[in-house]
Amino acid sequence: MASSKEVIIIGGGISGIGMAVQLKRLLGHDNFTVYEKSDNVGGTWWHNRYPACACDIPSHFYSYSFALKPDWTSMYPGRDELHECSASYRTADSTKTCKSLVWDSARSLWICTFEDTQTGAPFIHEAPVVISAIGTLDRPYIPTIPGASGFEGTAFHSARWDQSVQFKDKNVVVLGNGASATQFVPELVKQVGPHGKVVQLVKSAHWWTKRSGCKRRVNTDTYLACLHAPQMQLARDRATAIGPRHVETETGAQYPADVVVYATGFLTQEWLFPMEIRGEGGRDLHEVWRVAGGAEAYKGTVVAGFPNLFVLYGPNAATGQHSVIFHSECQINYACRLLRPVLKGGARSIMVKSEAQAKDLAWVHEKLKGLVFNAGCSSWWMDPKTKKNTFIYPDPMYKYWLRTIFPRWSDFEIRRDPRFRRNSTWRMLFELVASAGMTALAWIWLGESWQQTLKHVMSFKVLDSVVQMS
């Protein structure tokens, strides 16, 4: 059975926790359930446990503005400290995996099918609002390499680190050179000792200064130094086969291997997989995105045809080099503003119009054309088939914040609940006067960006009041 005005949050990582907190802080709404597929909260900082795992963003930028942490122990805090912050919020119902979301238009409800990851037992939970906070760095990508199944040593992905492995005197082959590898490779060089060997195979180099930003920058003070260690070898080569105790490469080289570590990233372009999501008229979200050439959403948060569904860390909502938490907080606050008519007013559902979404996406991809993010590197930001950049927001971070302060209500279709009764006229008058005052002050004292953003505040307040009085 559905509980009135209930919100389902899928994912107990940083975004899911932040959404739960802001529902209570901004809307006073505590009728929500957070589901997490793992056996603990924390998302990225629960799964990743490789040596020297740490944040590569300065710590004070890696906090929500409503939960600042003044006592970070270092500039780039380690995994344990980061996970401790998430674990302090006991919000999630763990070991529950979402299998499907189906919109029931007649009842304005999402029918959500979950599975208990420990028992395999399915169950259904219905609610009018669903927030996807599953992120994109949760499903490790392991390339298909001939012979890998016959490897007699130990092989694992860096995001599923095997804590039982002892590396001393071992031959270790690392595949990949992204942000994770640059953190753990220096530690492996130390752990194998003078009688072991670390070979790192890389398909392409990271630019240290020139063309910086074409791929996500790697921030490290230890990686370059470790390359000079006698037990370390860096090879610009590609693994083509794995034997029982060795790795073969494109150039014909063979490297002895007791351990193979895949630092090969994640299935970043399989947005919202493996969930089946069907919106109005039974539309399949994954098919919609396939036809579009990649995932897309209005301001990275909502999708036409899928009412009351919000995607945190969604398509083209991410920063290229800075704190993802800032963008996540912008989306969370934006979602709360859009949800106010549904959770606190007389609306049954809210959905972005297809023409508004198309206009927003046209601007995003036109803006990306001239930026380094689209400069042609092999990057997990790009759809491998269409080469469409589905990740990056193409403007400064503060502009994303400005664009999500006030919803442009004319871009949305809001369906009212006929049972809702009229609200007081005084609230509408007060909000109109307050909005006019805010707009006038902004126009006089603030810059052009604010003027462009705040010119929609009047329509925001008018529509909010009309929805609640109708």
Which two three-digit tokens encode residue 244?
């029982």
Which two three-digit tokens encode residue 307?
């009412």
Give every CB contact of residue 293 below 8 A, 6+ residues apart in sequence.
383, 385, 386, 388
Strands (E) located in 177-256: 197-202, 232-236, 239-242, 246-249, 254-256
CA distance 399 to 380: 24
Which two three-digit tokens encode residue 453?
């953003």
Give every CB contact of residue 453 below 8 A, 6+ residues apart in sequence.
402, 403, 405, 406
Q: Is the peptide bond before 140 cis (omega within 30 degrees of 0)?
A: no
- The pLDDT value recorded for residue 435 is 62
CA distance 275 to 218: 31
Nearest in space to 458 (alpha carbons), one of 438, 346, 352, 414: 438
Give every CB contact of residue 252 below 8 A, 6+ residues apart in sequence.
none
- The pLDDT value recorded for residue 426 is 53
- The pLDDT value recorded for residue 298 is 98
- The pLDDT value recorded for residue 469 is 36
- pLDDT by residue for the chain (470 residues), tens only, comes to 455 689 999 999 999 999 999 999 999 999 999 999 988 888 888 899 999 999 888 888 888 998 899 999 999 899 999 998 888 887 777 889 999 999 999 999 999 999 998 899 999 999 999 999 998 888 899 999 999 999 999 999 999 999 999 999 999 999 998 889 999 999 999 999 999 999 999 988 765 554 456 666 677 778 888 999 999 999 999 999 999 999 999 999 999 999 999 999 888 788 888 899 999 999 999 999 999 999 999 999 999 999 999 999 999 888 777 788 999 999 999 999 999 999 988 899 999 999 999 999 999 999 989 877 776 677 777 888 888 988 889 888 889 999 999 999 999 999 987 765 444 345 556 656 766 776 666 555 555 544 554 454 444 443 444 343 33
- Phi, psi torsion values for 354, nearest 5 degrees: -65, -35
Which two three-digit tokens encode residue 82?
């980061």
Which two three-digit tokens encode residue 361?
């996406």
- The pLDDT value recorded for residue 1 is 44
- The pLDDT value recorded for residue 467 is 41
Neighbours of 349 (CB within 10 A): 22
Rg (CA), the chain: 24
Report pTM: 0.83
